[in-house]
Amino acid sequence: MTKLAYILAASHSGSTLLTMLLNSHPDVATVGELAPGHMEDGEGYRCSCGTRIRECSFWQWVIFEMRKKGIDFRLEEFGTRFSMPDSRLAGWLLGPLHHGPVLEFFRDVGLGWTPGWPERIQKIMRTNEALIELIMKYYHARVFVDKGNIALRLKYLLRIPSFDIKVIHLIRDGRAVALTYMDPASYADALDPKLRGGGGGGGREDERLLMARAAYEWSRSNEEAQNVLRGLDKSRRIEVRYEDLCTHPQTTLDRLLTFLGLDPAKRVQDFRTVEHHVVGNGMRLDTTSRIQLDDRWRSTVTRNDSRTFDLVAGKMNQDYGYE
Which residues have CB under 8 Å from 164's CB, separation 6+? Answer: 1, 2, 3, 4
* Bridging pattern class, strands 28-30 and 143-149: parallel
Is residue 178 assigned to a domain? yes
Q: Would you say residue 107 lies in a domain?
A: no
Question: What DSSP character marks residue 284?
Answer: G
56 found inside a domain: yes
What is the residue-averaged pLDDT of the chain?
Answer: 93
The helix/strand/coil state of 144 is strand
Residue pair 152/131 in contact (Cβ under 8 Å)? The answer is no
Q: What number of H helices and E strands is found in the chain?
A: 13, 5
pLDDT in tens, 154-201: 999 999 999 999 999 999 999 999 999 999 989 887 777 777 777 666
- Residues 292 and 159 sit within 8 Å (Cβ to Cβ): no
Domain presence at residue 188: yes
pLDDT in tens, 129-161: 999 999 999 999 999 999 999 999 999 999 999
* Positive/negative CA dihedral, 239, 244, 246, 251: negative
pLDDT digits (tens, 9 = 90+) for 270-299: 989 999 999 888 878 887 889 999 999 999
Q: Residue 290's domain is classified under what CATH number? A: 3.40.50.300
Give the largest CA-CA distance in the chain: 57
Where in the sequence is the domain holding 261, given as residue range(s)?
2-83+97-102+116-319
Q: Is the pLDDT of residue 215 over 90?
A: yes
Phi, psi of 288 (to 5 degrees): -75, 140
Side-chain half-sphere CA neighbours of 100 within 13 A: 3
- Is 92 within the bounds of a domain? no
- If one counts the domains in the chain, the total is 1
Inside any domain, residue 109: no
Which 3-state string (H, E, C) describes 34-99?
Answer: CCCCCCCCCCCCECCCCCEHHHCHHHHHHHHHHHHCCCCCECCECCCCCCCCCCHHHHHHHCCCCC
What is the share, in percent, of the chain residues with pLDDT greater than 90?
Answer: 79
Q: What is the per-residue pLDDT across 228-268, written as a single tens digit (0 to 9) for each?
A: 999 999 999 999 999 999 999 999 999 999 999 999 999 99
Q: Residue 46: which of 190, 255, 211, 254 has the closest Cα?
A: 190
Q: How many residues does the chain have?
A: 323
In a domain, 23, yes or no: yes
